[in-house]
Amino acid sequence: MRKFPLLFILLILSASLASAWDVDKKYKGPKTPVTDTTWHPDILEGYEARYVDQGEAFDGPCRSTIVRLLNKKGSRRAFLYIHGFNDYFFQAEMGKRFVDSGYNFYAVDLRRYGRSYEPWQYPFNIRKQEEYFADIDSALVQIRRDGNTDITLGGHSTGGLTVAFYGAMRGEDVGVDRIVTDSPFLEWNFNSFMRNIAAPTIGFFGKIFPNGKIKQGHCDGYAYSLLKEYYGEWTYNTDWKMIYSPPVTMSWVGAINRAQSKTMKNASKISVPILVMHSSRKIDGCNYTPEFQTGDAVLDPFMLQKRGEKLGHVRQVCAIDSGLHDLILSKKESRDAAYDTIFSFIRRH
């Protein structure tokens, strides 16, 4: 029994030395950040965006991007959306729903994601989840500058973990009125050994080999359930939201582990009402089948339910029938239910 953990550790170390990211090209150009922080037309029709210089990070200069769609009738209520892993903001319908309901809508492409990605960066990489707090803070400054006085902070998957973590660590100083999460990454979708031993071990070695890569499964089920050219309803940039999940760094695994742990340890410090939404069922498998259209193929909703019930003091934890991992990308009936849940939660709190 003692030999197995040692063997596992050796496998981790060998994985950390393996090349990952099929494009093994090392960037050799200058690390010159884009300094234009003025608003410009966004890639989504009707939206506008601007970059935020986030200074020097462990891999060089970095930036975040604020995207907004303002209510033309004027509003002091705003919703700020934070995307998940292997993702960026592309859900034009989402912003329009909020604007039509009387809100100003904002989203952030976090550092190393989507609009914010720089060629010298390893996509989606992070050393600690707290780095994203600056990206959120910058957006909140802009939201208040635009005259908004009632703010809802929302996030999906790792973005859901980030906003819950943000609420737990900021406590009374969170600066928003409520938090909304869509399938938040509060727990790994692994068995007990992988959750409690393997992932923390990888995270530990991530401090020594931060850029060591862990390859992901070559699974297409979730992407095919979303993309219009396959079986879904959506069109997006597959260079920014890839069909096959890219390798993650060992430091990324460690960052997620620590954020999950700190969120739960400080769950009672979440001072604002929090909504935790998840699918009604878990989908197992790798390659697409019609079942992928009926549940969460990424996380375990029952684990999210269990952990969500410990967040904050005023909370709502609920399942969206047949929702996909990203509930607002589900079939119409399910995403309508998700939007109805969000808006009724905001009205009540």
Residue 315 structure tokens = 């909370």
- The values of phi and psi at residue 128, to 5°, are -150, 140
The residue type of 306 is K
Sign of the C-alpha dihedral computed for residues 344, 154, 150 and 336 taken in this order: negative
Torsion angle of the four alpha carbons 168, 153, 319, 260, in this order, in degrees rounded to the nearest 10 = -30
Question: Is 242 in contact with 124 (CB distance < 8 Å)?
Answer: no
Percent of the chain whose pLDDT exceeds 90: 80
Strands 178-182 and 213-214: unpaired
pLDDT, position 1: 36
Check whether 278 has a pLDDT greater than 90.
yes
pLDDT, position 331: 97
Q: Give the C-alpha separation, 205 to 44, whole Å.
A: 40
Q: Tell me 156's DSSP state.
A: E
Measured from the Cβ of residue 265, the count of other Cβ atoms closer than 10 Å reads 10
Range list of H helices, the chain: 3-17, 92-100, 131-145, 158-170, 192-193, 199-206, 221-226, 250-265, 301-308, 332-348
How confident is the model over 277-296, as a mean pLDDT?
Answer: 96
Residue 82 pairs with which residues in a beta bridge? 108, 155
Q: Tell me 196's DSSP state.
A: I
Q: What residues contact residue 93 under an 8 Å CB cut-off, 6+ apart?
A: 328
pLDDT, position 280: 97
Residue 52 pairs with which residues in a beta bridge? 64
How confident is the model over 222-228, as a mean pLDDT?
Answer: 97
Check whether 253 has a pLDDT greater than 90.
yes
| Location of structure tokens 């009604």 | 280
Measured from the Cβ of residue 26, the count of other Cβ atoms closer than 10 Å reads 5
Question: Is 42 in contact with 65 (CB distance < 8 Å)?
Answer: no
C-alpha angle with apex 252: 251 to 255, nearest 5 degrees? 85
pLDDT, position 25: 61
pLDDT, position 260: 97
Nearest to 40 by CA among 66, 73, 70: 66
Check whether 24 has a pLDDT greater than 60.
no
pLDDT tens-digit profile of 179-210? Answer: 999 999 999 887 777 777 878 788 877 788 88
The predicted model scores a pTM of 0.92
Check whether 37 has a pLDDT greater than 80.
no
pLDDT, position 4: 38
Lowest mean pLDDT among 102-106, 187-191, 305-309: 187-191
Q: Give the C-alpha separation, 176 to 346, whole Å.
A: 12
Check whether 272 has a pLDDT greater than 70.
yes
pLDDT, position 334: 97
SS3 content of the chain, % helix, strand, coil (to 5): 40, 20, 45
Check whether 19 has a pLDDT greater than 50.
no
pLDDT, position 14: 44
pLDDT, position 18: 43
Lowest mean pLDDT among 36-40, 145-149, 262-266, 269-273: 36-40
Check whether 250 has a pLDDT greater than 80.
yes
pLDDT, position 35: 66
pLDDT, position 7: 41
The string of DSSP letters for 242-267 reads -SSPPPEEHHHHHHHHHHHHHHHHTG
Higher pLDDT, 80 or 215: 80
Residue 290 structure tokens = 């019609």
pLDDT, position 149: 98
Check whether 11 has a pLDDT greater than 60.
no
pLDDT tens-digit profile of 46-78? Answer: 999 999 999 999 999 999 999 999 999 989 999
